[in-house]
Amino acid sequence: MTQRPVAFVWDNFGPLHVDRCEAAARQIGPRTPVIGIEIFAGSDDYDWQQPEARGFRKQTLFADGNWKSRPATKVSAAIVDAVTNANCKAAFLSHYDQPAMLLAAIRLRRTGVQIFTMGCSKYDDAKRHLAREWLKQFFYRPYDGGIGSDYRSTAYMRRLGLPADRVLGGYNTVNQDRIRALAARAAPDNKDFGQRPFLVVARLIWEKNFPGLLKAYAQYCQITDMPRRLQIAGSGPLDDELRALARELDIDRYVDWLGFVQTEQIAPLMRDALCLILPSVSETFGNVVPEALAVDLPIVISSQCGAADRLVEDGVNGYSFKPDDLARLAELLSEIGADEARWLTLKTGSRKLAPLGDTKLFAQSVEALLA
């Protein structure tokens, strides 16, 4: 007997959103249909290609527009109509801070639909103000529970008022089999240890700490006879400014600016790299980390990133550092780049920790909350 469907709602669908819906469909199906509701057909922040939805039904509410161009009342009405018309028993909603989502959550709860929030914010993401935190608690009030990322994220959800036993982890996860298949589909990895570059996959925005990264990389170049190349995969508003800084630091000849790169090309880049660097000064999580683990890539990560909570263990599969400690970052790059035995040990560690970043965890949290 087929049960009432479960809906997952995001503003726009990229590969990771499809991964989560597919994992949920495998976990709770086939008797419980999964519906993925995409509010807007395009994203203001990412140029990702729309992946095919498999194992679940995907629905787009608006062919154009964004949060600012569409009235909150119309967006909330469209969400409520999509969930109720499908006779869903539960809805997992992201973007709790959007007025449209608050209105939708209130209305859906009144109709008897179970409402859960999804997100990865941490208390230490920014300076917190009492009045704003109180308002967030109001925005959280309609929800029965939530799915966060790791320790700091789920702790923040509980701090904002969700029941402690109804907050689970696994939100920022990826279908690691998909990443491995994409990596295997590319040309074989023929790079030896000495040829592998450092890799950064991130938008070119201030939160990612690119000025600090370039300065640390310049320090690394000064203490290394044959510097490894630095590959930067990403686009964003700081592009021209960062290129100018690389020239000023006299490291531009070592830096490869790849622009925005789709997931299909990211996977082989990760497979062929020495390590992934995520130097952010503000980062709720860092979705590239579970992707990197899928191809056994060591991680050098800022302690500000949520992924550092569970997916990176110092000396096991990588290292964490304080985002303002540029000397430490330069030192880590030098040490990993000069020691093949250590690098191989870190790769083995990433392989062992990889299951902690797989969407199976997200699906298990979904099933537990529905139960």
DSSP 220-254: HHHT-SSPPPEEEE---TTHHHHHHHHHHTT-GGG
* Region label for 49, one of left (φ > 0), alpha (ψ between -120 and 50) or beta (otherwise): beta
Residue 180, phi then psi, degrees to nearest 5 = -65, -40
Alpha-carbon span 37 to 51, nearest angstrom: 14
The CATH number that domain 6-174+358-370 falls under is: 3.40.50.2000
Residue 138 is predicted with a pLDDT of 95
Pairing of strands 299-302, 275-278: parallel
Alpha-carbon span 359 to 60, nearest angstrom: 23
Residue 67 is predicted with a pLDDT of 92
Spatial neighbors of 57 by CB under 8 A, at least 6 apart, are 33, 34, 35, 36
DSSP 358: B
Alpha-carbon span 83 to 161, nearest angstrom: 25
**49-78 b/e (C-beta count within 10 Å ≥ 16 → b):** ebbebeebebebbbeeeebeebeeeebbbb
Cβ atoms of residues 40 and 9 within 8 Å: no
Domain ranges (residues) in the chain: 6-174+358-370, 176-355
Residue 48 is predicted with a pLDDT of 64
DSSP string across 109-137: HHTT-EEEEE----GGGS---HHHHHHHH
Residue 99 is predicted with a pLDDT of 96
Residue 270 is predicted with a pLDDT of 96
Pairing of strands 145-147, 167-168: parallel
| Token representation of residue 33 | 């249909």
Alpha-carbon span 113 to 104, nearest angstrom: 11
Radius of gyration of the chain (CA): 21
Same fold, 6-174+358-370 and 176-355: yes
How does pLDDT run along the chain (371 residues), one tens digit per residue? 678 999 999 999 999 999 999 999 999 988 899 999 999 988 777 666 777 888 999 999 999 989 999 999 999 999 999 999 999 999 999 999 999 999 999 999 999 999 999 999 999 998 999 999 999 999 999 999 999 998 999 999 999 999 999 999 999 999 999 999 999 988 887 789 999 999 999 999 999 999 999 999 999 999 999 999 999 999 999 999 999 999 999 999 999 999 999 888 999 999 999 999 999 999 999 999 999 999 999 999 999 999 999 999 999 999 999 999 999 999 999 999 999 999 999 999 999 999 999 999 999 999 999 99
Alpha-carbon span 296 to 323, nearest angstrom: 24
Task: Find how far residue 140's CA is from the centre of its chain.
Answer: 22
Q: Name the strand (E) or helix (H) holding 138.
A: helix 130-140
> Domain 176-355 belongs to what topology?
Rossmann fold (3.40.50)
Cβ atoms of residues 51 and 20 within 8 Å: no
Q: pTM value?
A: 0.93
